[in-house]
Amino acid sequence: MLDFSGRVVLVTGAAGNLGRVVANGFMEAGAQTAVVDRSSGRLETLYAGAGVAHEPLRLSGIDVTQPDSVSTTVSRTLERFGRLDVLVNTVGGFRAGKPVAETPLEDWDLMFDLNVRTAFMMARVVVPHFLERRYGRIINVGARPGYAGRAGMAAYSASKAALLRLTESLSEEVKGQGITVNAVIPGTLDTPQNRAAMPDADPSTWVRPEAVAFAIQFLASAQAEAITGAALPVYGRS
């Protein structure tokens, strides 16, 4: 296990399947952790009696598409811990199935809000703090359709492609200043929702959230200090 003792980690989307595993992994590795989610009350249930060295800072009802919410999230994290070392953006969403000519505008906007705007909004507030300290790690969560468009997935594919370009551009802006910006690209995650949606699939070929969480930890670690602007595939056999 990697050691994050003395580090402060902020995880958005921490009530989700992947976000919860990511946050728990960092806590088990010794990090002081802020867990953020839009839902109200779920963080208190999920992280009650965490049984780790440092109780997490729970920030519920936070919409990280909104400037005020993002500012509140970062300021409360800094007030609690005094600094921030790692930002992990696991917030995202999926909506697909219709061709471009039939895609509602609200679906297009929703995909860009959840998959790109969230990461942009968080980075915009966190990066100045990282630059001041000349240290920081940002890890975003991409998707394979971000590499190539697929029929019926224009909004999702385009938003995930934009997230990768955001990751690459930001990494170029801050490299050489102690800050790295990377993405992980999970294959099909083994979650209850995916099992219910694809009952005829073989989940043994899918990727456990724990495997993706470890890849995120690696990118946040000292061992990955020379890696920035990368998109790390975590496909398993999916």
CB-count exposure of residue 194 (10 Å: 0-12, 13-18, 19+): middle
Which of 47, 135, 147, 156 is labelled catalytic?
156
7: three-class secondary structure by DSSP: coil
Based on the residue annotation, tell me whether 235 is a catalytic residue of this protein: no
Percentages helix, strand, coil for the chain (3-state, rounded to 5) are 45, 15, 35
Half-sphere exposure in the Cβ direction for 146 (13 Å, CA): 28
At a CB cut-off of 8 Å and minimum separation 6, what does 74 contact?
A: 10, 84, 122, 125, 126, 129
Tokens at 133, concatenated: 């300290």
Positive or negative, the CA dihedral 153, 157, 159, 160 is positive
Helices 154-174 & 118-133 angle (0-180, nearest 10)? 10
Active site residues per annotation: 156
